[in-house]
Amino acid sequence: MLTSEWTDGLHCALEAAQVFLGGVAIDVVPLGSGHIHRTYKISSLGGSFLLQQFNTRVFDRPEQVMANIMKVHRHLYYEKGMQPVLTPVGLSSGEAFWTDTSGQLWRMFEFIEGGYVPEVVQTPQQAYLIGRAFGAFAEALADFDPTQLHEVIPGFHDSLARWHAFQQVLAKDPLGRAASAGEETDALQRQCHLFKTIAALGLPQRVTHNDAKAGNVLLRTDGSDFLAVVDWDTIMPGYVLADFGDLVRSIVSPVAEDDPRIEQVQVRLHFFEALCQGFLSEAHRIITPNEHRHLVLGAQWITIEQAMRFLLDYLAGDMYYAAQYEEHNLNRARNQLALAEAIQRHAEEMQHIAMAAPC
């Protein structure tokens, strides 16, 4: 049975869709599993669209997000001829957002047809294609000046600042949850030296996606190729290691990031190899030797950072990542810590594989 919140959501989404499309929307269906926005597929007489209720708590500078997306769209579509490519649909007034009567922001994109997103990556071929999609994305953006983009979430991958914030929340312990997360907190404590190592590498700033997880690539339904990289909200200046790290984090484990069966978390080395082959087959033209040498370190870094983000949110009371049950964010943190440990155990083999891939 539909909850009233859900029904209201559909009703509001349809109203927003009519505003964007001048009244020709005919159907609305909830879509996707993102943590941040609410997403709907809109069918209309003029084709299909993706509509989102935009989360202004996470992105408090929505105009900057859309300004970045427009610039990246122009670069990829007009200068690189990338197709299909994420394409925003504005209002007839030219504005990117519509604000409803309750103050919620809505935005729209063209719907990219013929694709699917695997929830958990099931074959090395999928890992290869997802790697290639993000490798091509990085390559196509390598000549785009990162200073042209807004830093939409300042310090997004500043792990040292996040570590500081984590310790503050831990000390306050607003919900009395710290006692139930003692082991996880200790594990983070043991790993946080990596944050300093990464900051000291002197890596080049590039235009990066910053949410380069497998779920943000559309694959062709027939499995023959990738279609497009989506979810561009966090595109901003960053390190290529962060994107590669998110790819590893979301591809090598056979279970989803919130699976509580942490004994099932492991590194599937042949998936990692396929990912490296795919990513570097495109990105080898732009990656520096220093970046190449540190790809595996990037995977460890981002996985630990993600564990810290989940654990911080658990301690803070699930303010950022939607939690379906009380220990959801704690389980996410446990899962990611187990993955970081597995990556560390296999680091030597992974390094060998990454260096053997074409570059």
- Kindly list the residues in this chain that would bind Mg ion in the complex (CB under 5 A): 211, 231
| Choices 31-39, 167-175, 180-188, 339-347 (CB under 6 A): range interacting with ligand GN1 | 31-39
Nearest distance in Å: CB 23, ligand GN1 = 30
Q: How far is residue 232's CA from residue 244's CA, in Å, rounded to a whole number?
A: 16
Q: Does 35 bind ligand GN1 (CB under 6 A)?
A: yes
Q: Does 68 bind ligand GN1 (CB under 6 A)?
A: no
Tell the burial category of 154 from Cβ atoms under 10 Å away from its Cβ (0-12, 13-18, 19+): exposed
3-state secondary structure of 98: strand
Residues in the chain: 359
The beta-carbon contacts of 193-196 under 8 Å, at least 24 apart in sequence, are 194/159, 194/297, 194/300, 194/301, 194/304, 195/159, 195/160, 195/163, 195/301, 195/304, 195/305, 196/160
Cβ atoms 12, 104 nearer than 8 A: yes
Q: Alpha-carbon torsion 336, 337, 342, 347, what sign?
A: positive
Contacts (Cβ under 8 Å, ≥6 apart) of 112: 84, 86, 218, 227, 228, 230
Q: How far is residue 240's CA from residue 103's CA, in Å, rounded to a whole number?
A: 36
The residue among 231 and 305 lying less far from Mg ion, judged by its C-beta, is 231
Nearest distance in Å: CB 181, ligand GN1 = 18
Cis upstream peptide for 84 (omega within 30°)? yes
Tell me which residues in 247-266 interact with ligand GN1 (CB under 6 A).
257
The item of ligand GN1, Mg ion, none sharing an interface with residue 165, based on CB under 5 to 8 Å by kind, is none
Q: Does 154 bind ligand GN1 (CB under 6 A)?
A: no
Q: Does 52 bind ligand GN1 (CB under 6 A)?
A: no
Letter for the amino acid at 137? Answer: F
Q: Does 300 bind ligand GN1 (CB under 6 A)?
A: no
The item of Mg ion, ligand GN1, none sharing an interface with residue 87, based on CB under 5 to 8 Å by kind, is none
- Tokens in use for 169? 């929340």
Letter for the amino acid at 307? Answer: A
Nearest distance in Å: CB 258, ligand GN1 = 8
Tell me which residues in 162-181 interact with ligand GN1 (CB under 6 A).
none
Q: How many CB atoms lie within 10 A of CB 145?
A: 9
DSSP 79: I
Q: Give the residue from 349, 348, 351, 253 showing the smallest Cα distance to 307.
A: 253
Cβ atoms 112, 82 nearer than 8 A: no
| Choices 29-37, 135-143, 281-289, 343-351 (CB under 6 A): range interacting with ligand GN1 | 29-37
Q: Does 32 bind ligand GN1 (CB under 6 A)?
A: no
Q: Does 36 bind ligand GN1 (CB under 6 A)?
A: yes
Nearest distance in Å: CB 220, ligand GN1 = 21
3-state secondary structure of 218: strand
Nearest distance in Å: CB 280, ligand GN1 = 22
| Choices 34-42, 92-100, 137-145, 199-207 (CB under 6 A): range interacting with ligand GN1 | 34-42
The residue among 230 and 353 lying less far from ligand GN1, judged by its C-beta, is 230
| Choices 18-26, 30-38, 101-109, 163-171 (CB under 6 A): range interacting with ligand GN1 | 30-38
Q: Does 231 bind ligand GN1 (CB under 6 A)?
A: yes
The item of Mg ion, ligand GN1, none sharing an interface with residue 243, based on CB under 5 to 8 Å by kind, is none
Q: Are strands 226-229 and 115-116 parallel, antiparallel or unpaired?
A: unpaired
Q: Does 62 bind ligand GN1 (CB under 6 A)?
A: no
Nearest distance in Å: CB 200, Mg ion = 28
Q: Does 303 bind ligand GN1 (CB under 6 A)?
A: no
Contact positions vs ligand GN1 (CB under 6 A): 34-36, 58, 211, 231, 234, 257, 306
